[in-house]
Structure 1
Amino acid sequence: MAYFERVGASAFRATGHVGGAWRTDEQHIAPALGLLAHAVELDRDARRDDALVVGRLSYDILGTIPIDVVETSVRVVRPGRTVELVEATLGHAGRDAVLLRAWLMRAGDTGHVHATALPRITPPAGMPVWDASTVWPGGFVASAEVRREQVEPGRAAFWVRTPLPLVHGEEVSRLAGAAGLFDIANGMTVRVDPREVAFPNVDLTAHLFTQPRGDWLGFDTTVSFGPSGLGLTSSVIHDSGGPIGTIAQILTVRP
């Protein structure tokens, strides 16, 4: 099984493995974000042969999505030889549900200056297994393997991977596969019981200074709630080699 099955040139049928955490009859948005990254890369490769790399993925979540067929579309907003801005949408029944703007940039050899001061987290083998389904229902959360070091409510480091492919029978890049896990960050270290306070995110922006490798994706995550109904989940993301970028998600906090 997979999270999606292709049923047309730009249409994909969601499977039960995308079942949401807030409502199990709706899609968890995480796999849909990966699907849009996959659509952007497929469009890029159909148009050009220089394999621009993704530096930023900025998603706006416009609404909920039923577990059904979704449609994707991609257009170039700002073309360029070395940098381009691409916009993609994912929708259902004629209604856009997710909007993505992605910056694609020319790769180059900067290995001699490759460095970051962002701290590493404990490797997955050194973290205890954590069953996220003790907090969250839904097919997507059930499909993910999680290792976690909890510091306090709203503060943790954790690793996530999934045995399921993003799209059945299709080769998907490690970036798109990782993008399909990014949104799990808002939920792996809850500040309050989600049965008492809802805190869904309405966006997600990932900045990457290197492309992810391996099947594990690591998060060093902090959740903050403000006094007037807003919140923020911020993460440094990791692969087996160390930090690779950051993710931010703005939350609507609803007691």
Structure 2
Amino acid sequence: MSTQESSPDQAADQSPEATFPLEAGVPAFYRRLDEDLYAPTIHVQGAWRDDEQHMAPVGGLLTHAIDRHEPREGMQLARVSFDILGMIPARPSRVSVRTTRPGRSIELVEAVLSVDGRDVVRANAWRLAAHDSSPVAGVEFEPMPGPDAFPEWRGAELWPGGYIRGVEFRADPARRPGRTRTWIRTEHGLVHEEACSPTADLIRLVDTANGIAVRVSPREWMFPNVDLTIHLFREPVRGWVGFDTKVTMGTTGMGLTSTTLHDERGPVGRAEQILTVRQLQQD
């Protein structure tokens, strides 16, 4: 979950953005308008502001664009890092993609999401060639019980916004502030009437991690993340996404949300989010 302050000039430029109608009848996060332009729907609406996009589906959209860029058989996404350059307005969003480091077995791809001509999120993704490493395979991450082992948790009781309303949660009853194990899924597709990879399917939910193990009430403190970095050591499978999450907050306005990511086969990777922690002004 992420939002960032805008400068006075940006705030003035953004005045028409709040009037853009977020479609409610589309069963997906985005509807494609042309080759690289997407209309966000109500299902991307953020938690901190009604007129912003939640970072989770933005991450999925950028991953989808990376997957479609110069695809080659046998290449897999191993790491993607997102830098959030400011508030992500809930407006038609353009995605540009380029290869910045080509290679036969290792390549780096950059994707940028812009709104009204301003870059708001930048992603860098390493794609690596797949090889047989089964003789040395091993996983040290702790497994977690499946989604059927945990009861329902109502995230919308803690967080507002169209994105959270469209997500189903199953949370460990032993959860506490700063620590949880949670499974989540959504019935909403990424881009209307388009298929996406299992990796993009998982990444469209990962930024949710910062809102499921909160240490303090989001009505009293803000703790948006300014980045999101995801490492994957195998391709995920579709379905529930598991979060084994810990939240750390320091004494000088910074925090860290750290998550081991799971699918229904077991651990699949890691996610890290650096936070800016600020007390809200009370009326």
CA distance in 2, matches of 1:167, 1:33: 12
CA distance in 2, matches of 1:65, 1:106: 33
| Structure 1 residue 120: Cα displacement | 0.6
Deviating runs (4+, > 3 A) in structure 1?
Answer: none
Aligned to 1:13: 39
Q: Is the 8 A contact 1:154 1:223 kept in 2?
A: yes
Aligned to 1:2: 28
Q: Is the 8 A contact 2:167 2:186 kept in 1?
A: yes
Aligned to 2:226: 202
1:77 equivalent to 2:103? Answer no
CA distance in 2, matches of 1:24, 1:154: 26
1:182 equivalent to 2:206? Answer yes
1:230 equivalent to 2:254? Answer yes
TM-score, normalised to structure 1, is 0.97
| Structure 1 residue 114: Cα displacement | 2.3
CA distance in 2, matches of 1:231, 1:14: 29
1:130 equivalent to 2:153? Answer yes
1:34 equivalent to 2:21? Answer no
Aligned to 1:241: 265
CA distance in 1, matches of 2:204, 2:70: 19
Q: Over aligned residue pairs, what C-alpha RMSD do you find? A: 0.9
CA distance in 2, matches of 1:203, 1:44: 26
Aligned to 1:119: 142
| Structure 1 residue 178: Cα displacement | 0.8
Aligned to 2:129: 106
Among 240, 255, 259, the residue aligned to 1:216: 240
Q: Is the 8 A contact 1:44 1:51 kept in 2?
A: no
| Structure 1 residue 2: Cα displacement | 0.5
| Structure 1 residue 166: Cα displacement | 0.3
Gaps of 5+ in 1: none
**CA displacement, residues 209-255 of structure 1 (integer Å, 9 cap, x when unaligned):** 01111311001000010000000000000011111110000000001
Q: How high is the sequence identity, in percent, across the aligned residues? A: 46
Aligned to 2:91: 68
Q: Is the 8 A contact 1:57 1:206 kept in 2?
A: yes
Among 63, 87, 94, the residue aligned to 2:117: 94
Gaps of 5+ in 2: 1-26
Aligned to 2:177: 153
Tell me the secondary structure at the aligned position of residue 160 of structure 1.
strand
TM-score, normalised to structure 2, is 0.87
Count residues in correspondence: 252
Tell me the secondary structure at the aligned position of residue 180 of structure 1.
helix
1:24 equivalent to 2:50? Answer yes
**CA displacement, residues 155-196 of structure 1 (integer Å, 9 cap, x when unaligned):** 000001110100001111111111110100000111000000
AA aligned opposite 1:66: P
| Structure 1 residue 68: Cα displacement | 1.7
CA distance in 1, matches of 2:229, 2:63: 12
Tell me the secondary structure at the aligned position of residue 211 of structure 2.
coil
Q: Is the 8 A contact 2:202 2:238 kept in 1?
A: no
CA distance in 2, matches of 1:214, 1:88: 23
